[in-house]
Structure 1
Amino acid sequence: MSALVLDDVSAEQTDTIRALEAESIQIIREVVAEFDRPALLFSGGKDSAVLLHLALKAMTPAPLPITLLHVDTGHNLPEVIDFRDRIVAEHGLDLVVANVEDWIADGRLQERPDGTRNPLQTVPLLDTVNERRFDALLGGARRDEDRARAKERIFSVRDAFGGWDPRRQRPELWQVYNGRHAPGEHTRVFPISNWTELDVWHYIDIESVELPSIYYAHERPVWLRDGMWMTPGPWGQPAEGDELLVKTVRYRTVGDGSCTGAVESTAATIDEIIAEISVSRLTERGATRADDRLTEAAMEDRKREGYF
């Protein structure tokens, strides 16, 4: 009896994932049909890997008519950058990298006192959008990650300065999306907005989507800061009094190494990860992203300034 129930649940979950996949593919095809110069934000993280997989599937057998864009802080974990470059090479994709270090070198940006570069991504992003004249940016943000992202529509128009005004949100009834924008404006598009972290992992399982190795349990030198296990790198080292330990950890999300922490975990397979996050009460950003803990409205403040 229990085996039968498990099979029924599995079939129901698969139907849910396929419905989400169909919705996302429809959104991606709408973008390709409506916009002239779309780009897809690809950092090498799990959500952007799933989004790229969906985009390739949506366009098959034609080549992907979408440029990939990564705003690279220079503080990313090397496993993620290696994965990013390998996937781009394997599929013969066009990748534009906006290096935050270039903006720092020529004085357009200054390093922050706290050393984190995540908030510094906004200016390189907007400059690259304007320079390349991208009129739509597809991203892997999901509503379950943060309250500010929960407010946002799937098609989200940004003003000439890249800013987001929640009062300008457009209705999206019956999956009808409005991508109209004035000169200078562009549209952010979130094809997996309705997915949850658990949905993403079920899809990775069903579709065998490849990810960077750091999403799975591995040993790494870490120290504890504000309840998160940080790893040393060019972004920083343990402070005096911090104890550097070797722990078995994994990352639930990836980003700037100065503000993205790992979680203690022995989950080395997709099934084990699904079991682990099924009982978690924290989203991946809430658990491992220090930049979202600055204020309760940290994400919304950055989105108003042009952050994704």
Structure 2
Amino acid sequence: MTASTAPIATEKLTALEAEGIHIFREVAGEFDRPVILFSGGKDSTVLLHLAIKAFWPAPVPFSLLHVDTGHNFDEVIEFRDGLVEKHGLRLVVAHVQDWIDDGRLAERPDGTRNPLQTTPLLDTITEQKFDAVFGGGRRDEERARAKERVFSLRNSFGQWEPRRQRPELWNLYNGRHRPGEHVRVFPLSNWTELDVWSYIERENIELPSIYYAHERDVFQRDGMWLTSGPWGGPREGETVERRVVRYRTVGDGSCTGAVDSTAADVRTVIAEVQASRLTERGATRADDRLSEAAMEDRKREGYF
């Protein structure tokens, strides 16, 4: 970062932070039972960091909700639990396995569980009576997310209806909703992947170790480096290699790929992101490649 660009970057991050804090405080004033979706990934960790700042020195007044596919990376779960303990947070975990065990869900033939998260998410929102749900979605990630509002109204079935979304002029957010409905809230909507990493550097935010370069046994499938685990693989004909990789995003291990990388710290990750032409989801998430409109379909069903 040169001297000429540093003040502009700092000013932008400060504005994005202020916007995020404003959104958290707005929700605290408008809703009764908000919750933060938290996976242990970089976006949800930045989201939690903003929430802590918004209410400091008081504790965060919201619970965290993790929809656990059972196919998570060990490093991410350890990080999640450590952060919850450090800040004295309340964590609600919806285990996809519970829905499979009692027959409400069935395993997919491909073994991927990311698309199975919708039902546990909506059931838990209903059971816990959450009326506002914070998510770490950003508009730069994917086309379906690009059209999302900061306050996204969901009907009583958790579904997104385009015609019912409200204008958001001059940072005025309308949280009005009927009984049984809820609102998804996206404080990072206007951030980019580069903004997130620049903010992580500025605030010295800790992340799971898999975001940085490390050695791992991986095999290639559909142009991505996957790792073996309880989700299965490699298949016949897929050869395991020991490579230096890192993850740009975290999720279900069966469909989240690693990228070849030697970026072992935040500064080198930022340089790598600056040179990339693909978003992290486009480069490393097989579940978004299931169809041309995979994320749009999941959005309408109530996933994010």
Counterpart residue identity of residue 277, structure 1:
V
Matched, 1:152 2:140: no
**Superposed displacement of residue 75, structure 1:** 0.1
**Superposed displacement of residue 167, structure 1:** 2.4
Matched, 1:192 2:184: no
CA–CA separation in structure 2 for the residues paired with 1:117 and 1:304: 18
Structure 1 residues 156-184: Cα deviation after superposition (integer angstroms, max 9, x where no partner)? 00000000112222100000000000111
Counterpart residue identity of residue 111, structure 1:
E
**Any conservation in 2 of the 1:152–1:166 contact (CA below 8 Å)?**
no
**Superposed displacement of residue 111, structure 1:** 0.5
Partner of 1:95: 91
**Any conservation in 2 of the 1:50–1:204 contact (CA below 8 Å)?**
yes
Partner of 1:65: 61
**Superposed displacement of residue 217, structure 1:** 0.2
Partner of 1:162: 158
Partner of 1:141: 137
Partner of 1:39: 35
Q: Secondary structure at the match of 1:175?
A: coil
Partner of 2:79: 83
TM-score by length of 2: 0.99
Pairwise mapping of residues 1-308 of structure 1 onto structure 2 (< 5 A)?
6-308=2-304
Structure 1 residues 31-66: Cα deviation after superposition (integer angstroms, max 9, x where no partner)? 111000000001000000000000000000111110
CA–CA separation in structure 1 for the residues paired with 2:268 and 2:162: 38
CA–CA separation in structure 2 for the residues paired with 1:6 and 1:147: 32
TM-score by length of 1: 0.98
Q: Quick one: percent identity of the two aligned structures? A: 71
Counterpart residue identity of residue 250, structure 2:
V
**Superposed displacement of residue 8, structure 1:** 2.2
**Any conservation in 2 of the 1:230–1:260 contact (CA below 8 Å)?**
yes
Structure 1 residues 127-176: Cα deviation after superposition (integer angstroms, max 9, x where no partner)? 00000000000010000001000001000000000001122221000000
Q: Secondary structure at the match of 1:222?
A: strand
CA–CA separation in structure 2 for the residues paired with 1:119 and 1:128: 16
CA–CA separation in structure 2 for the residues paired with 1:284 and 1:189: 21
Counterpart residue identity of residue 254, structure 2:
S
List gaps (5 residues or longer) in structure 1: none
**Any conservation in 2 of the 1:21–1:54 contact (CA below 8 Å)?**
yes
User: Structure 1 residue runs of 4+, over 6 Å off?
Assistant: none
Q: CA RMSD in A?
A: 0.7
**Superposed displacement of residue 208, structure 1:** 0.5
